[in-house]
């Protein structure tokens, strides 16, 4: 039992929250790259991504694991993203800080999605049983490349706002 839920129910809740965070991030950050100011969807992205990270700490763990380290790094990125989201447009660098930290938080969520997919989906696990095989590495490389492109686009989108406000 975790938070009064059976472990399978808690896992399902955790995954659902994670997928909402990923989908809202994949919608909201390209809009930022297109020059739109952050709106309510960004708030949903940040809240669900933070909820994903925090609920991840509730799973039984023993010692320091890669999942724990990823959770700590994600929490730090989200604290920065939430702070800059709340101050977006009030300072010269808040948009840039938001673009970078929010994209990094989304990347970490996508990274974990790929890891968990290769662990839990039998067809993917058969392709990369140890997580060191080419299909896994290619998938992670594509996620990283797409995240860098998205982050760079979001960075440029916020720069347009800074430059047009000058």
Residues 6 or more apart whose Cβ sits within 8 Å of residue 19: none
> What are the tens digits of pLDDT across the range 69-108?
999 999 999 999 998 877 765 666 777 888 899 999 999 9
| pTM for the full predicted model | 0.88
Per the CB < 8 A criterion, the answer to whether 78 and 103 are in contact is: no
Report the candidate in 41, 29, 40, 39 with the shortest Cα–Cα distance to residue 106. Answer: 29
What's residue 61's pLDDT?
84
> What are the tens digits of pLDDT across the range 40-75?
888 999 999 999 999 999 998 888 888 899 999 999
35 pLDDT tier (thresholds 50, 70, 90): confident
Q: In whole angstroms, how far apart are CA 11 and each of 60, 64, 134?
A: 12, 20, 28
Phi, psi of 89 (to 5 degrees): 85, -10
Cα–Cα distance, 99 to 152 (Å, whole number): 8
pLDDT of 165 > 50? The answer is: no
What's residue 3's pLDDT?
86
> What are the tens digits of pLDDT across the range 113-129?
999 999 999 999 999 99
Per the CB < 8 A criterion, the answer to whether 22 and 109 are in contact is: yes
Report the candidate in 20, 104, 24, 17 with the shortest Cα–Cα distance to residue 56. Answer: 17
Cα–Cα distance, 113 to 80 (Å, whole number): 22
């Amino acid at each position: 039992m975790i938070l009064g839920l059976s472990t399978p129910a808690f896992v399902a809740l955790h995954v659902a929250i994670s997928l909402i965070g990923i989908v809202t991030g994949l919608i909201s950050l390209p809009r930022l790259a297109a020059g739109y100011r952050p709106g309510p969807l960004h708030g949903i992205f940040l809240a669900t991504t933070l909820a994903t990270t925090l609920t991840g700490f509730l799973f039984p763990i023993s010692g320091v694991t890669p999942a724990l380290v990823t959770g700590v790094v994600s929490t730090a990125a989200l604290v920065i993203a939430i702070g800059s989201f709340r101050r977006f447009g009030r300072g010269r660098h808040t948009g840039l800080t938001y673009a970078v930290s929010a994209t990094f938080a989304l990347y970490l969520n996508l990274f974990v999605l790929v890891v968990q997919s290769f662990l839990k989906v039998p067809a993917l696990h058969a392709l990369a049983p140890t997580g060191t095989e080419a299909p896994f590495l290619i998938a992670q490389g594509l996620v990283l490349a797409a995240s860098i492109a998205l982050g760079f686009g979001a960075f440029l989108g916020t720069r347009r706002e800074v430059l047009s406000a000058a």
